[in-house]
Amino acid sequence: MSMAVASLRSLARRQPRLRLPPAPLVVPGGRAALLSGAAEEAAPLAAAEAAAPPPVPGRKVLESFREEFEIGGRSIAFETGKMARFANGSVVISMEDTHVLSTVAAAKSSEPIRDFLPLTVDYQEKQYAQGVIPTTYMRREGAPKERELLCGRIIDRPIRPLFPPGFYHEVQIMVNVLSSDGKQDPDVMAANASSAALMLSDIPWNGPIGVIRVGRIDGAFILNPTVDELGLSDLNLVYACSRDKTLMIDVQAREISERDLQAGMKLAHSEAIKCIDPQISLAKRAGKKKKEYKISLISDTSYEKIRTFSEAPIEEVFTDSSYGKFERGGALEKITQSVKAKLEEENDEDSLKFLHKAVDTVRKQVIRKRIIEEGLRVDGRQLDEVRPLYCESNTYPLLHGSALFSRGDTQVLCTVTLGAPGDAQRLDSIVGPPTKRFMLHYSFPPFSIDEVAKRGGLNRREVGHGTLAEKALLAVLPPESDFPYTVRVNAEVMASDGSTSMASVCGGSMALMDAGIPVREHVAGVSVGLVSQVDPATGDISNYRILTDILGLEDHLGDMDFKIAGTRKGITAIQLDIKPAGIPLDIICESLEPARKARNQILDRMDQEISTARGINDGSSPRLATLSFSNESLRKLLFHRKKIEQETGARVSISDGTVTIVAKTQEIMDKAIEKVEFLVGREIEVGRTYKGIVSSIKEYGAFVEFNGGQQGLLHISELSHQPVTKVSDVVTLGQSLSLRCIGQDMRGNIKLSLKATLPQPRIKKDLKNKDPLPSEVTGWAAVENMSSVDVDAQLSSTEHENGTTEEAAAFSTPSVIIRSAADCDAQDDANGSKKRAKVAKSSPRPNKPASECHDVRKATAKKATGATTKKTKKVKIEESVSNGLETSGSDVPEQSADNTSDQNQSPTKFQSGAMKLGDVVTAKVYQIRAYGLVLELSDGVRGMHKFEANGLKEFEVGQELVVKCSSFNAKGIPLFSLLD
């Protein structure tokens, strides 16, 4: 703006100055003449201003600083000064194409009554980092997800111990993932960037730290593995440290041994410190000078006064093991009130401000001194002693799985719920898998510690403890291919007095076995603590004690909470949280051995309660079935899935050609499978039983709709082991049947059998009353007296999947005895002209009305292509039927249900004579079929000869052959074999 004004002034100076004449006398019209002259003088000046070009903005230079280093063959860079310049400290860390921004800010003053550090870490992964628009209704990110809370804890845990004592100003660290290539998990990068941002700020902090991830594939450790490499790794170790001490450990493993874990942690420490020097160098170049913040510390005089009043009664209470958790708490409150009354009498306002903090410090010193010097704990246990255990499985039989676990006063109820694969949790993370099929949800209600509090949303502590227990149990779960259920474990803390997360591991393991999940073995967890003495001169630990199975009070007053879970073979999960500014790695490695011994003791007690998984179908565990279909077949199911769920009560999920059904009982499961298979249909297998509904009834059998709308023929001979007179005597229209597929005829009709699903009748072994053998049957029907479907059914063999063929029994008694031609003619005369008129019609099947033939074609056309036997077009066969077997009504009388189904009456005398097994006769080739020959004897009756596999098929109509009667089929038609 100033430049523009200066340019206008210079232009004004260049204009020639006008010498105005003396002011004229006041005359009428003189004012108008003066204004007109001023306007004429200002016009050139305005034109010059308009012609001047606008000022060009200057180029801003962003001074940035960058430090690069390398770990595990991957280049990492810290950069500051380019982004978030107003933040107290800001750093962008880069690894390949993944960039993470971390900023830090602190409040200028702290509240006077605060006695803790209000550190907040907000980690956020926005979907733009991977080029995706959020799928939420508002198309923007909502509340923090579980993964974001866990990543925030990864940053918080190693940073918090390094703030100076008494620094109670509010500090906020915000981390944003700017871009992600999906290869590297940004959580470790975010922790290193936050450390660098604190180093650049003016906030007092005793950093920096280094954080690294270590994996192991085929026994070889990998530094900063990619997401794909983590999928193959049996170790996921996140390690944070200062230059000489450990600050945080987080482990997920597949039963890694203590020795291998120690090797991995030592390697991680040596590599993680490579992140420290670049941060120090960056802070020297671009960091701010540390500011003098107000430190809230009690004076030595006030502390000594409070210690004098409270030390003796505190020792009396906290050295008596008969006191319980709440009894100790109540006694401490009385001691505090007694000291408060004394301070009020002395009007010591400074000491009253820090009263509660000072009393807690006195209690801490008393308890720690007794542990260090005497080796005795608050409850009287030895240092390596585990509290009494209580284990109970199947606590609530109605649930899929349940267990109750207690260790001392800590008690956790764990329940298991099984669901379909579609119930898996969907994850919107920018890295990792899209779904999670195993979930453990940890809940810490306020009543578990006898307090009153509101229940809110996701709690960082609950999410962290639940994830730790989830990682511990995940190592023993069966693979998804063997156990496709989605599993949810609920860990409800009933009472808390230390290490409820490890109690959730123990209870969850028993609940999984109680639910019938085939876990390989139990998983148990225990928490190990540390109490140490520090040399004031050097700041190093001079003496320490390791505590096994710590109480809540020992966790509060101790130096570390080292949670270790695993099986007898090795470790599956670890979480280390510390309070001092680091612990030597040697002490942490030493803590692994007492944890292993305590873990085995707990596993022995759990095995006594339940050692193997129950049957999945025992109790109330749901049933799960997985069916595979083509995507085309599933289109019908997509529209009827909700209806099936409402009618059966089962849950049906569809995904990529797979249908998964979950039902509470086997009865519901069978009903749901039946409806799905009936609607969609499955590949037809010979010998398998199907559910079907009778769609139409004919004189020779019934057509049944099954397997997704396909039609099958239930012949009258397959209705029962006993002779059947009428089809309607056995089945009715719309009746539901269980039928077995026995094959497929040459026309594509699927042959079904009802009697194959029925038990075989008992045959009396009385030779005197035994029925005559089929060889003694004297009557046999001409081929033209049988329907074309029956003839084809006899010529076509049932071909199984293994290549074998199934033929009709050679010595089976015919279920239907066909009468002689004379009897048929007499019956036709009685039926009248209406029956003969039907026969005279041109039809491909003379024994059925045209309407029935149309029904058969319609039913056959509806069948799907799922049969195992091949369906081919039968054009030539249809021609042979119309040219050969079908004759006029005068030549072949039509059978009816009245004159052909009387099975109790045997033919008196057959016109063509008796035919017995072994008879050798001369026959002519009447017709050549695809599967065999129709032979005509000298007296006009006909029989059949079926081609053998790869046999000679060069025959001519009218050719004479010498044949031998080898058997009879179920209809009494003779079957011949050729003689050389």
As a whole number, mean pLDDT of residues 784-791 equals: 39
Query: To 5 degrees, how large is the angle CA 186–CA 192–CA 197?
Result: 115
pLDDT digits (tens, 9 = 90+) for 226-273: 999 999 999 999 999 999 999 999 999 999 999 999 999 999 999 999
Cβ atoms of residues 658 and 481 within 8 Å: no
The predicted structure's pLDDT at residue 41: 59
As a whole number, mean pLDDT of residues 540-557 equals: 93
Is 80 exceeded by the pLDDT of residue 882?
no
Tell which residue, 661, 635, 636, 639, has the closest CA to residue 650. Answer: 661
As a whole number, mean pLDDT of residues 442-447 equals: 94
The predicted structure's pLDDT at residue 31: 46
798 — pLDDT class (breaks 50, 70, 90): very low
Burial grade of 733 (CB within 10 A; 0-12, 13-18, 19 or more): exposed
Q: What are phi and psi of 488, to 5 degrees?
A: -125, 125
The predicted structure's pLDDT at residue 749: 74
Alpha helices in 530-625 (DSSP H): 552-557, 585-590, 592-609
Domains and CATH numbers, the chain: 65-286 (3.30.230.70), 300-374 (1.10.10), 389-397+419-609 (3.30.230.70), 623-757 (2.40.50.140), 774-978 (2.40.50.140)
Mean pLDDT score of the chain: 79
Cβ atoms of residues 123 and 141 within 8 Å: no
What count of other Cβ atoms lies within 10 Å of the Cβ of residue 602?
A: 24
The predicted structure's pLDDT at residue 980: 63
Is 60 exceeded by the pLDDT of residue 950?
no
Cβ atoms of residues 844 and 886 within 8 Å: yes
Report, in this order, helix, strand and coil percent for the chain, each rounded to 5.
35, 25, 40
The predicted structure's pLDDT at residue 745: 72
Can you tell me whether residue 625 is helix, strand or coil? strand
Q: Range with the lowest mean pLDDT among 432-446, 667-681, 874-888?
A: 874-888
979 — pLDDT class (breaks 50, 70, 90): confident
The predicted structure's pLDDT at residue 840: 34
pLDDT digits (tens, 9 = 90+) for 26-78: 444 444 444 455 556 556 656 666 677 888 888 888 889 999 999 988 999 99
- The token pair that represents 41 in the structure block: 């003088």
Q: Range with the lowest mean pLDDT among 42-46, 757-761, 851-855?
A: 851-855
Cβ atoms of residues 411 and 494 within 8 Å: yes
Helix (H) or strand (E) holding 504: helix 500-514
Is 60 exceeded by the pLDDT of residue 468?
yes
Please name the amino acid found at residue 333: E
9 — pLDDT class (breaks 50, 70, 90): low
Cβ atoms of residues 392 and 406 within 8 Å: no
275 — pLDDT class (breaks 50, 70, 90): very high
Can you tell me whether residue 595 is helix, strand or coil? helix
More confident residue, 202 or 972: 202
Is 90 exceeded by the pLDDT of residue 921?
no
The predicted structure's pLDDT at residue 656: 75
Tell which residue, 454, 451, 547, has the closest CA to residue 498. Answer: 547
Is 70 exceeded by the pLDDT of residue 333?
yes
As a whole number, mean pLDDT of residues 738-749 equals: 80
The predicted structure's pLDDT at residue 722: 85
What count of other Cβ atoms lies within 10 Å of the Cβ of residue 75?
A: 11
pTM: 0.69
The predicted structure's pLDDT at residue 856: 37
As a whole number, mean pLDDT of residues 764-782 equals: 41
As a whole number, mean pLDDT of residues 410-424 equals: 91
Helix (H) or strand (E) holding 223: strand 220-223
369 — pLDDT class (breaks 50, 70, 90): very high
Please state the three-class secondary structure of 767-800 as a single string: CCCCCCCHHHCCCCCCHHHCCHHHHHHHHCCEEC
351 — pLDDT class (breaks 50, 70, 90): confident
Highest mean pLDDT: which range of 19-23, 280-284, 453-457, 773-777: 280-284
Cβ atoms of residues 602 and 526 within 8 Å: yes
Cβ atoms of residues 486 and 559 within 8 Å: no
The predicted structure's pLDDT at residue 912: 44
The predicted structure's pLDDT at residue 768: 42
The predicted structure's pLDDT at residue 763: 58
- The token pair that represents 56 in the structure block: 């060009």
799 — pLDDT class (breaks 50, 70, 90): very low
